[in-house]
Amino acid sequence: MEVEGRRVAVVGMGGAFPTCSDINDFSDKLFSNKSLIRVWDQALAFDKQVRSKVSGYITDAETNLETIYSTIVAGYPEVHVDLLNRIPPGNLATSDMGSIWAMLGTMDAIRMAGWSVEETQSEKTGVVLGSGGCGHALLRPAWHHIFEVGGKSRSAGAHTVDRAMVYREAANVSCLIKNRGVCEAVVSACATGLGNIGYAYRLIKFGMQDRVVAGGIETTSIETLFGFDGMQVLSRGFAPEESSRPFDMKRNGFVCSFGAGIVCLEEYNSAKSRGANILGVIDSYFNNSDGDGDMFYPSFGGQRRLWKGLLGSSEIKPDVVKVHGTSTPAGDPIELLSVVDVLGEDGFHISAPKSQFGHMLGAAGAVEFITAILMLKEQAVLPCLNSIDLNPELENIQKSPNWDGPNAPLQNFRHLLPMQSFKKEINTIACLNYGFGGTNSAMLVSKD
């Protein structure tokens, strides 16, 4: 049950972002309408084995890290070295690259939040972090060495399990900051990032924690790109900066990207009383399942119920809707139609951050939540890059005899999708993310 009077403030954020040195660099590039997507040399190396060769990926150098590979197990990242000595060697020993991004992002977010050591290590401080994938860069060479080469199990060292387990980012962050509250990972495909922030919101709202480090991570993994490329759902045939094109008629798939988004949440009165810089206030969170038994195809009915649960009986109309906007042929029309079905055809704008950095999978919802906080800060709407031409004809789903949503073609909503960032008074933003298995998440965040 919610505890009356408890609200949830966003007081810190950090993470790892393609081509960016820090969150300020990330913000500057986004509001300058730049794309963070580029040709990925790892994908190029496989030539005709893979169709899509673009990604929003992060190099070691961009995060001041160095990977030392095993001399026994070919391709096995034995240890990652922090060239700036930000993380103790003992914590690095149990971490994959994504866990390191999570720890660095947590340190930045806590610094921004201004939490003391006592507050951070309190029983009322939790860690809720999740990722969509599971240690591919470690497991593939380790298992190949055993099953194909005939090597011994100990040849990959003693940390393959803890560096590759599903819960690894939360575990490593908790061990680094030594919090005494909850330490959990919520995994829900591409809704993971926002789902972990939503769960953290509830922990505070329900009085179970006063502070939570929350977010999502997706570690750089060529195996992940291969998996989605095999499903034929990745973008191909465009220049890198034109590859992610939500709602555009020429879209043919998403851009597989990687990164981390970490936020510090705190009970509002606690943050206010200590003079914290409140970046935003979470007003509502709701999640549900489509319930139609389809693993992949999005559901208009599920998204309509998601909006109903998010808004409840309130008359809040967000100034901006931060959409999931993957650039997939099936997903984009249903999402746009569900937004218009609930909010109408004017009075708000749509922002599609994936158009600038691709789809970060388990990190997507968290990094995109950070973009929402940045929009509140800058009082500017981030664009839908490459959303050039929308379908002038009705979608197939609109031609169904059971269809009861908007009956206008997507082209009629062209005015809602800006292709350049622009200034606007923004008080409230709705954040949307969806995932395989019909899982849906939505959050309202507003200015203090």
Show which residues are catalytic. 190, 324, 359
Which CA distances in Å does 278 have to 9, 75, 128, 264, 307?
Answer: 6, 44, 20, 10, 26
CB distance 193 to 363 below 8 Å: yes
Work out the number of other CB atoms within 10 angstroms of the CB of residue 345: 12
Both tokens assigned to 437:
């298995």
CB distance 40 to 224 below 8 Å: no
CB distance 158 to 138 below 8 Å: no
DSSP per-residue codes, 91-154? HHTT--HHHHHHHHHHHHHHHHHT--HHHHTSTTEEEEEEESS--HHHHHHHHHHHHTS---GG
Which CA distances in Å does 277 have to 142, 216, 273, 362?
Answer: 45, 23, 11, 28
What is the CA angle 112-115-116, rounded to 5?
135
Q: Which distant-in-sequence residues (6+ apart) come within 8 Å of 399 by Cβ?
A: none
CB distance 18 to 57 below 8 Å: yes
Reference 319, options 382, 384, 264; nearest CA is: 382
Q: Which distant-in-sequence residues (6+ apart) come within 8 Å of 55 by Cβ?
A: 18, 37, 38, 40, 43, 225, 255, 256, 257, 258, 358
**Residue 213, CA atoms < 13 Å, CB-side half-sphere:** 44
DSSP per-residue codes, 364-417? HHHHHHHHHHHHHHHTEEPP-TT-----SS--GGGGSTT--S--S-GGGGGGG-
Cα–Cα distance between 7 and 270 in angstroms, integer? Answer: 10
Residue with tokens 């080469």: 149
Work out the number of other CB atoms within 10 angstroms of the CB of residue 23: 22
